[in-house]
Amino acid sequence: MNSQEFRRRGNEMVEYICQYLETLEDRKVTPSVEPGYLRHLLPDEAPYHGEDWDRIMEDVESKIMPGVTHWQHPRFHAYFPSGNSFPSILGDMLSDGIGCIGFSWAASPACTELETIVLDWLGRAIGLPDDFLALKAGSKGGGVIQTSASECVLVTMLAARAQAIKHLKQQHPFVEEGHLLSKLMAYCSKEAHSCVEKAAMICFVKLRILEPDSKCSLRGNTLTKAMEEDELQGLVPFFVSTTLGTTGSCSFDALEEIGVALQRFPGVWLHVDAAYAGNAFICPELKYLLKGIEYADSFNTNPNKWLLTNFDCSTLWVRDRIRLTSALVVDPLYLKHGYSDAAIDYRHWGVPLSRRFRSLKLWFVLRSYGISGLQNYIRHHIELAKRFEQLVNKDKRFEICNEVKLGLVCFRLIGSDKLNEKFLSGINASAKIHMVPASVNDQYVIRFCAVAQNATEDDIG
Amino acid sequence: MNSQEFRRRGNEMVEYICQYLETLEDRKVTPSVEPGYLRHLLPDEAPYHGEDWDRIMEDVESKIMPGVTHWQHPRFHAYFPSGNSFPSILGDMLSDGIGCIGFSWAASPACTELETIVLDWLGRAIGLPDDFLALKAGSKGGGVIQTSASECVLVTMLAARAQAIKHLKQQHPFVEEGHLLSKLMAYCSKEAHSCVEKAAMICFVKLRILEPDSKCSLRGNTLTKAMEEDELQGLVPFFVSTTLGTTGSCSFDALEEIGVALQRFPGVWLHVDAAYAGNAFICPELKYLLKGIEYADSFNTNPNKWLLTNFDCSTLWVRDRIRLTSALVVDPLYLKHGYSDAAIDYRHWGVPLSRRFRSLKLWFVLRSYGISGLQNYIRHHIELAKRFEQLVNKDKRFEICNEVKLGLVCFRLIGSDKLNEKFLSGINASAKIHMVPASVNDQYVIRFCAVAQNATEDDIG
């Protein structure tokens, strides 16, 4: 395809996307296909000769779309939102057009610098302390875009691990590192995202999963007690992952309590995973939910969830970028450049070496909507959730199972888990609405999340 | 921005991308900016009110572009190619429009199934044994798209680590796992990509970096000797990462020799990193370079390097998908679905939970170019490299430093490393051509890589 044809096909794709999104509610939310459906529709091997574009797009509509779960559908209320907006799509288009790989500053200076600046913009907008911003005078911190919250949790745990091992090594220079590693203990709540468990598996460290209180919030004294017990056993607490806005029920760990408690355990890394809820802190009236952030070493939120930015765009800030990167630096000659010492090289901030120009889409979203536009979007979703909560409360057959602070409502039929499973299965089988379950206080609940950018009250009525 | 405006802005962006790529050679290849240039051009914080799209795009041209290293420029010869093509851009546009997150089969069946099918297509096209294809009867293998080759190496090392620890645990049930971990030894050549070292740091395992032969190829007996020495020391070899097409000089480890040698070390995982060169195996005349693949447990190549597909698209195949995923499975209720047992859930194949619909762009590329079109593209780059090699050979001041099998030529001025450094700095300072150095046989060499899709002989003359 040459640029002349791309002019035509690009415009057709723009039109296809518009029509897809404009008529989405005519489609079923979820597909009615069984595993293996697509292999019966596509050939076993790639074509030898190139095919005409029209044929390819026909297959998109006739073969791919019937197997798509429509995350942008106004009646998709599962998981959390998958960020999407026109300015964000334009940002990805431009990133693809430029097609640069920003692993080091020199590999494309604008790619690195815009990321640093836009992360400062967003960090400031959601109310992070100045220490987390790269361009504040005297700050040692900064932000980076990662592929996913899983990666944010992993790299901060890796940094904490490196720091803890280094410290232990000074105290016990002749002990084998594997033995030191076996002493390390990380902590999170039972309500933390499964990625904390995955990160601990990868880091090969023990993870103690703690019971939250009845509001699904991890409390400071629960943590302190566990850490003291473990220290008595000769173990070394090194990392705590807290959550603001859990996946199950959008509950909030008692960050301030935990931060205060950790003062007695110097050197323990405090991470805050606010993948969903963190985006909401862009609203002044919700910033109280961030209380305690002054104790944290790192913080992540996903604009690709709730800030109208397409996946992948998971933003991570750290208070001390040297502590982060020291766990990940490897430096061969073919990646060195004249400014290696003076500039940020984001390849040391995460697992992958190569990186897209992801800050473009976030920059486009922040500028095109402005902070006020994004606040309105967040507030609209919260209103929809509140409205849904009211509707549930009016119906005596149901009960609400979480404190509805943001866009997620957990509810259930009063009765057994089995009854609720059957009820949810029936709803999902209709393919008119899509929701997923969670376990809250060991009960099966149904999660309703406000998701679509332009959903109205009718979509939730 | 509503869809009406997106129709207009989308078309403008298509036009911007076309003009950017059509007039790229009028721009300097590399920017002449210093670290921090952009912070002086952009405000300190995000705008409160949304801005007009035209203003944003003005800033793209006046503030971003002056800081971009133009990887698609016809005279960009640094690193390896950053894959790009119009069908691939269209695939990303569609992926963004759909905006689904395919962490499990149920989260969007087409997203998972197309990935499996397209990876079978590509695996077959480059000549992988049937064991690596998911849809072959009796096969336990399959392919997956990862974010980067770094992630491919990391997850295979994690899988090998899990397998080795499980095995050791059976032999020594009462030994602390950290101690078992400290016995594990991974291997690679000095010429392997730095991501192997990073993966070993993350996995917390020892890595023995071996000397290749004079052609920068790791040999079977070098590996055997090292592994035997280590076993005598009580260490446990568990993972070997070989490279087909090294970053420094596109050299090839002696895969078949290594595979044969490893027969004496059952249980050691053999990975093949062919991030760049693997794409070339789509040409029948180059498949001989894959010899020995029948011994491998896993293989990765990056279509986002040399197969006209935009980053990120790093393809990994394994011979045994259960062995891969068993290192990474965590399974909370909110991610379970009715087909959890029958279908592939790609979240267990890598670090991130969430994933884009990345197979669309690879599918578009494979269909739009066809295998023959991709072969022509690869062959064209190899011809350009051969032509460049001839030009260097004609000039007595220079010498060629690698065996030019694919698109990479390593050369140097006959003389000191310092002289070559100065020479390369001069070239790069001109901003007319861009190349990067590497160290080959402990000598500073200059890498020339054929990169641009439509580069002609004039661009290298």
CB pairs under 8 A between A and B: 463
* Residue B208 pLDDT > 80: yes
Q: Compute the half-sphere exposure of residue B120: CA atoms within 13 Å on the CB side of its CA.
A: 22
> Do the beta carbons of residue A149 and residue A195 sit within 8 Å?
yes
Q: Do A2 and B86 touch (CB under 8 A)?
A: yes
**pLDDT tens-digit profile of B47-92?**
999 999 999 999 999 999 999 999 999 999 999 999 999 999 999 9
B65 to chain A: nearest residue by CA? A110
- Cβ neighbourhood burial of B289 (10 Å; 0-12, 13-18, 19+): buried
Nearest CB to B248 within list A1, A33, A334: A334
Report, as an integer, the average pLDDT of A315-332: 88
- Nearest 5°: CA angle at B363, between B360 and B364? 85
Give chain A's mean pLDDT.
95
* Bridge partners, B146 (sequence order): B314
* Residue A453 pLDDT > 80: no
Q: Do A356 and B311 touch (CB under 8 A)?
A: yes
Q: What is the DSSP letter of B23?
A: T
End-to-end Cα spacing for chain B: 47
Q: Looking at the complex, report in whole angstroms how far the Cα of residue B222 sits from the nearest Cα belonging to chain A.
A: 23
B19 to chain A: nearest residue by CA? A3
Report, as an integer, the average pLDDT of A100-123: 96
Q: Do A370 and B82 touch (CB under 8 A)?
A: no
Q: Looking at the complex, report in whole angstroms how far the Cα of residue B134 sits from the nearest Cα belonging to chain A.
A: 11
pLDDT computed for residue A119 by the predictor: 98
- Side by side, the strands of the sheet bearing B314-318 are B142-146, B314-318, B298-301, B269-273, B236-243, B184-189, B206-210
* Residue B338 pLDDT > 80: no
Compute CA distances B456 → A12, A438, B224, B391, whole Å. Answer: 30, 58, 45, 15
Cβ contacts of B64 on chain A, cutoff 8 Å? 110, 114, 360
Where would I find the H helices in B34-76? Answer: 53-59
Q: Do A93 and B92 touch (CB under 8 A)?
A: yes
pLDDT computed for residue B451 by the predictor: 86
What chain A holds in terms of domains, given with CATH numbers, is 97-364 (3.40.640.10)
Q: What is the DSSP letter of B395?
A: S
User: A424 Cβ partners below 8 Å, 6+ apart?
Assistant: A435, A437, A446
Which SS3 state, helix, strand or coil, does residue B75 take? coil
Nearest CB to A1 within list B79, B198, B368: B368
Report, as an integer, the average pLDDT of B391-416: 97
* Residue B19 pLDDT > 90: yes
pLDDT computed for residue A327 by the predictor: 85
End-to-end Cα spacing for chain A: 47
Phi, psi angle pair for A215, to nearest 5°: -95, 20
Closest CA to A108 of B427, B31, B424: B31
pLDDT band at B452 (very low <50, low <70, confident <90, very high): confident
Q: What is the DSSP letter of B252?
A: B
Residue B119's H or E segment, with its range, is: helix B109-126
A120 to chain B: nearest residue by CA? B45
User: A196 Cβ partners below 8 Å, 6+ apart?
Assistant: A153, A186, A188, A207, A241, A273
Q: Do A17 and B93 touch (CB under 8 A)?
A: yes
Q: Looking at the complex, report in whole angstroms how far the Cα of residue B308 sits from the nearest Cα belonging to chain A.
A: 11
pLDDT computed for residue B144 by the predictor: 98
| Residues B246-284 as b or e (16 or more Cβ within 10 Å = b) | bbbbbbbbbbebbbebbeebeebbbbbbbbbbbbbbbbe
**pLDDT tens-digit profile of A271-323?**
999 999 999 999 999 999 999 999 999 999 999 999 999 999 999 999 999 99
* Residue B104 pLDDT > 70: yes
> Do the beta carbons of residue A101 and residue B311 sit within 8 Å?
yes
At A353, list the tokens. 């070496």
pLDDT computed for residue A460 by the predictor: 64
At B162, list the tokens. 């899990």
| Residue % of chain B over a pLDDT of 70 | 97
Whether the link from the prior residue into B395 is cis, omega within 30° of 0, is no
Compute CA distances A140 → A110, A273, A318, A346, whole Å. Answer: 21, 20, 9, 15
Separation of alpha carbons B144 and B152, rounded Å: 9
* Residue A155 pLDDT > 90: yes
Nearest CB to A82 within list B99, B311, B333: B99
Cβ contacts of A53 on chain B, cutoff 8 Å? 87, 368
* Residue B332 pLDDT > 70: no
Nearest CB to A22 within list B3, B105, B195: B3
pLDDT computed for residue A441 by the predictor: 87
A443 to chain B: nearest residue by CA? B333
| Residue % of chain A over a pLDDT of 70 | 97
| More reliable by pLDDT, B211 or B451 | B211
pLDDT band at B328 (very low <50, low <70, confident <90, very high): confident
Report, as an integer, the average pLDDT of B15-23: 97
Residue of B33, B93, B361 best to disrupt the A interface, most CBs of A under 10 A: B93
pLDDT computed for residue B453 by the predictor: 77
* Residue A342 pLDDT > 80: no
Phi, psi angle pair for A392, to nearest 5°: -65, -45
At B60, list the tokens. 């793209």
User: B47 Cβ partners below 8 Å, 6+ apart?
Assistant: A366, A367, A370, A371
B52 to chain A: nearest residue by CA? A368
User: A347 Cβ partners below 8 Å, 6+ apart?
Assistant: A103, A104, A335, A353, A354, A355
At A155, list the tokens. 């790299």
Where would I find the H helices in B127-193? Answer: 149-171, 177-181
**pLDDT tens-digit profile of B145-182?**
999 999 999 999 999 999 999 999 999 999 999 999 99
User: A238 Cβ partners below 8 Å, 6+ apart?
Assistant: A160, A161, A163, A164, A184, A185, A186, A205, A267, A268, A269
Q: Do B53 and A368 touch (CB under 8 A)?
A: yes
Q: Looking at the complex, report in whole angstroms how far the Cα of residue A260 sits from the nearest Cα belonging to chain B.
A: 30
Q: Do A438 and B20 touch (CB under 8 A)?
A: no
Separation of alpha carbons A331 and A322, rounded Å: 15
Q: Do A201 and B327 touch (CB under 8 A)?
A: yes
Which SS3 state, helix, strand or coil, does residue A190 take? coil
Residue of B152, B155, B311 best to disrupt the A interface, most CBs of A under 10 A: B311
Separation of alpha carbons A30 and A67, rounded Å: 8
Phi, psi angle pair for A113, to nearest 5°: -70, -40
Nearest CB to A69 within list B84, B107, B333: B107
Separation of alpha carbons B36 and A398, rounded Å: 57
Cβ contacts of B439 on chain A, cutoff 8 Å? 332-334
Cβ contacts of B247 on chain A, cutoff 8 Å? 332, 334
Q: Do B17 and A6 touch (CB under 8 A)?
A: yes
pLDDT computed for residue B461 by the predictor: 58
Q: Do A72 and B98 touch (CB under 8 A)?
A: yes
Q: Do B99 and A22 touch (CB under 8 A)?
A: no
pLDDT band at B222 (very low <50, low <70, confident <90, very high): very high
Nearest CB to B181 within list A79, A106, A204: A204
Report, as an integer, the average pLDDT of B4-18: 98
Q: Which residue has the tokens 């500073």?
A: B444
Q: Looking at the complex, report in whole angstroms how far the Cα of residue B416 sits from the nearest Cα belonging to chain A.
A: 17
Cβ contacts of B195 on chain A, cutoff 8 Å? 330, 353
Separation of alpha carbons A323 and A368, rounded Å: 35
Predicted TM-score (pTM) of this structure:
0.96
Most trustworthy range by pLDDT among A298-307, A344-353, A439-448:
A298-307
Write the ipTM: 0.96
Cβ contacts of A448 on chain B, cutoff 8 Å? none
Report, as an integer, the average pLDDT of B375-401: 96
pLDDT computed for residue A340 by the predictor: 66
Q: Do B93 and A10 touch (CB under 8 A)?
A: yes
Q: Which residue has the tokens 């890498």?
A: B447
Q: Do A5 and B86 touch (CB under 8 A)?
A: yes
Q: Looking at the complex, report in whole angstroms how far the Cα of residue B56 sits from the nearest Cα belonging to chain A.
A: 7
Closest CA to A452 of A376, A392, A384: A384
Q: Which residue has the tokens 């969430």?
A: B354
Closest CA to B411 of B381, B432, B437: B437
Separation of alpha carbons B109 and A34, rounded Å: 8
Cβ contacts of B109 on chain A, cutoff 8 Å? 31, 33, 35, 37-38, 67-69
Q: Looking at the complex, report in whole angstroms how far the Cα of residue A258 sits from the nearest Cα belonging to chain B.
A: 25
Give chain B's mean pLDDT.
95
Whether the link from the prior residue into B458 is cis, omega within 30° of 0, is no
Q: Do B97 and A16 touch (CB under 8 A)?
A: yes
Residue of B89, B195, B435 best to disrupt the A interface, most CBs of A under 10 A: B89
pLDDT computed for residue A14 by the predictor: 98
